[in-house]
């Protein structure tokens, strides 16, 4: 099996100046929060760039109905009476008109232990936890902390961000129905909300929102191979409206566009076809990809040999592939990386932090390529803050991730059936 990317394709990718242009143009669309003009602009841009790469392929759009949500205003009044910067978490409920006034209980990082130890004190108070580096082993996802706060009877939720001077965004994980008001705040604001000799500090959260049915889309471009099997290459379009969502996930989108340009003229000769997918409402509990995988029959799922999902692939030169419990795909991806002169770290546990998780849960081998895994100093630590801007990404990092993606995708398209069968073997 030839695992080395065709030198002509590699040379083309190495010289593709559109990679950096696309990345900047995607960032220029803005933060791409689902339901905004910024998200629509990004979809239009992706359509235009894929059309330029393969004019004969008009693709298809799958409608994605979801529960729309728009923040109208948010504020946080501190015990001193001063107002602190804050950011409403996606799909947070609104507060009553006059706001929600309650004591804040600081639960530190917000581990299950901390929630358990304070179980008797959380009811009727606002739970304060901390945002964690998302790309690390043992990370406790914000949504789990939000759920723990609700389960313990908290009336509100505050999460302190990782970067001084900056609030943090993210999703509450709520869909419709009951919930508690949830705001992202800056770390120095969280520091002001510690319990003191005087007791727990009292704050007022005020949030106004608009909710109602909404619709976005999943964009799909099929480039058939010689069989009816597929390799799905995916990235999510949406982000948060704090900045330009550059690392998360302008980097993944630009890489997917470049790989599409480089591979699409060749796929007809490959064993498996290339299915390029752009998902949205990823930041809303992975909704776009969840709907896609749920709608696939068992037979269709078996025809997808592998999902290669790019999410936050630049911002650090160190790349990891999250194999999502599919131990059988690890030797393949490591051999491809080595054959193409790249280092790659394999991380096995399924992390439900991007669209690959829905493929994996649906029985389809899936991996997420991510930069800066387990590196607390990587720029990736500021993902979901206003500092997720294009200056955090080096051209060389984006190029390297793109070359590795092209190599993995082409090798997966060409792998023989015995090799592809191994990918479906799970660790448990």
Q: Which residues bind Zn ion (CB under 5 A)?
A: 248-249, 311
CB of 233 to Zn ion, least distance (A): 15
Contacts of 350 (CB under 8 A, 6+ apart): 322, 324, 325, 357, 360, 361
Which lies closer to Zn ion via its Cβ, residue 156 or residue 372?
372
d(CA 221, CA 256): 12
3-state secondary structure of 146: helix
Residues 194, 269: contact at Cβ < 8 Å? no
CB of 274 to Zn ion, least distance (A): 22
Which lies closer to Zn ion via its Cβ, residue 172 or residue 249?
249
Which lies closer to Zn ion via its Cβ, residue 340 or residue 354?
354
Please report the beta strands in 131-281, taking only residues with DSSP state E, as ranges in sequence order: 156-160, 182-185, 202-223, 230-236, 273-279
Which lies closer to Zn ion via its Cβ, residue 106 or residue 311?
311
CB of 92 to Zn ion, least distance (A): 19
Query: Distance from CA of residue 187 to its chain's centroid?
Result: 22
Omega of the bond prior to 129 within 30 degrees of 0, cis? Answer: no
Residues 316, 135: contact at Cβ < 8 Å? no
Which lies closer to Zn ion via its Cβ, residue 245 or residue 414?
245
CB of 237 to Zn ion, least distance (A): 10
Angle subtended at Cα 327 by Cα 250 and Cα 347, rounded to the nearest 5 degrees: 45
- Which helix or strand (DSSP H or E) is residue 87 part of? strand 86-88
CB of 311 to Zn ion, least distance (A): 4
In eight-state DSSP terms, residue 333 is H
Residues 21, 390: contact at Cβ < 8 Å? no
Which lies closer to Zn ion via its Cβ, residue 39 or residue 311?
311
CB of 1 to Zn ion, least distance (A): 31
CB of 163 to Zn ion, least distance (A): 17
CB of 241 to Zn ion, least distance (A): 15
CB of 235 to Zn ion, least distance (A): 9
Contacts of 384 (CB under 8 A, 6+ apart): 131, 134, 161, 168, 169, 170, 184, 240, 242, 248
CB of 245 to Zn ion, least distance (A): 8
Which lies closer to Zn ion via its Cβ, residue 305 or residue 360?
360
Which lies closer to Zn ion via its Cβ, residue 106 or residue 248?
248
Which lies closer to Zn ion via its Cβ, residue 25 or residue 248?
248
Torsion of CA 222, 10, 322, 375, to 10 degrees: -140
d(CA 6, CA 287): 36
Phi-psi region at 245: left, alpha or beta (left = phi > 0; alpha = psi -120 to 50): left
Which lies closer to Zn ion via its Cβ, residue 229 or residue 375?
375
d(CA 393, CA 123): 43
Q: How far apart are the first and last CA of the chain?
A: 27
């Amino acid at each position: 099996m030839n695992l080395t990317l065709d030198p002509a394709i590699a040379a083309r990718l190495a010289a593709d100046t559109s990679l950096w242009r696309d990345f900047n143009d995607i960032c220029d669309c803005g933060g791409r929060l689902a339901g905004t003009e910024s998200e629509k602009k990004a979809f239009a841009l992706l359509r235009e760039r894929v059309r330029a790469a393969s004019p004969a392929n008009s693709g298809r759009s799958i409608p994605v109905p979801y529960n729309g949500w728009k923040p109208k205003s948010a504020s946080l009044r501190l015990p001193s009476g001063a107002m602190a910067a804050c950011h409403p978490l996606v799909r947070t409920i609104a507060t009553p008109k006059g706001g929600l006034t309650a004591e804040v209980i600081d639960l530190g990082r917000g581990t299950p232990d901390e929630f358990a130890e304070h179980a008797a004190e959380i009811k009727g108070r606002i739970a304060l936890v901390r945002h964690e580096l998302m790309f690390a082993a043992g990370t406790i996802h914000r949504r789990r902390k939000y759920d723990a706060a609700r389960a313990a009877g908290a009336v509100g939720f505050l999460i302190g961000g990782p970067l001084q001077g900056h609030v943090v965004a993210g999703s509450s994980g709520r869909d419709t129905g009951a919930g508690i008001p949830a705001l992202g705040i800056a770390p120095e604001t969280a520091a002001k909300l510690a319990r003191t000799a005087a007791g727990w500090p009292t704050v007022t959260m005020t949030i106004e929102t608009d909710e109602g049915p909404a619709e976005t889309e999943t964009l799909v471009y099929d480039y058939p191979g010689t069989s009816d099997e597929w390799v799905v290459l995916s990235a999510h379009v949406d982000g948060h409206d704090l900045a330009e969502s550059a690392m998360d996930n302008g980097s993944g989108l630009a890489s997917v566009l470049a790989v599409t340009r480089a591979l699409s003229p060749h796929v007809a000769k490959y064993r498996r076809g290339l299915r390029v997918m752009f998902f949205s409402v990823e930041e809303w509990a992975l909704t776009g990809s969840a709907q896609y995988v749920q709608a696939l029959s068992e037979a269709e799922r078996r025809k997808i040999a592998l999902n290669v999902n790019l999410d936050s692939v630049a911002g650090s030169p160190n790349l990891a592939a999250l194999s999502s419990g599919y131990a059988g795909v690890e030797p393949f991806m490591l051999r491809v990386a080595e054959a193409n002169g790249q280092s790659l770290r394999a991380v096995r546990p399924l992390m439900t932090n991007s669209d690959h998780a829905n493929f994996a849960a649906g029985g389809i081998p899936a991996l997420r390529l991510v930069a800066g895994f387990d590196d607390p100093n990587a720029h990736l630590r500021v993902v979901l803050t206003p500092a997720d801007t294009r200056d955090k990404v080096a051209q060389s990092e984006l190029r390297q991730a793109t070359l590795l993606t092209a190599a993995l995708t082409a090798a997966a398209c060409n792998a023989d059936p015995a090799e592809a069968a191994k990918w479906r073997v799970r660790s448990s």
